[in-house]
Amino acid sequence: MHELTVTEGLLEIARRHAQSAGAARITGLYLVVGEWSSIVDDSIQFYWDFVSQGTSAEGASLHFRRVPVEIVCLGCGHQYHPEGDEFACPACRGEQIRIAAGDEFYLEAIDVEPASVPSVGTL
């Protein structure tokens, strides 16, 4: 259910940036979602269709880019993608690690339709 709150936040951020850019409407949002984030794409899409109704973002497309998990061994500095439930470093078997990627969630970009520009008369 936390996806509803997250989706409402996305709408607010997108609307605020579109308004400051003088855009007429929002046509697309580009989201970056880490493999280990708790975000479910289908839930965000479901709630988006609901919360964007009647706003400048109604009908906007959501584009999801999934980021795989990447871990850094604090012992030897090796970067790797864990397999299954094995998190120890494959290079040195160290268990002191840091997640370098894969737990993020953010709005990367917004596509907007510019507000109509008044036509200039002929000289």
Residues 92-121 pLDDT 10s: 999 999 999 999 999 999 999 988 755 565
Q: How confident is the model at residue 123 (pLDDT cuts 50, 70, 90)?
A: very low
Q: What are phi and psi of 83, to 5 degrees?
A: -120, 125
Per-residue pLDDT, averaged over 13-42, amounts to 95
Separation CA 86–CA 70 (nearest Å): 13
Q: What is the domain partition of the chain in residue ranges?
A: 2-114
pTM (2 d.p.): 0.82
Class of domain 2-114 as given by CATH: alpha beta
3-state DSSP of the chain: CHHHHHHHHHHHHHHHHHHHCCEEEEEEEEEEEECCCCCCHHHHHHHHHHHCCCCCCCCCEEEEEEECCEEEECCCCCEECCECCECCCCCCCCCCEEEEECCCEEEEEEEEEECCCCCCCCC
What pLDDT does 115 receive?
Answer: 82
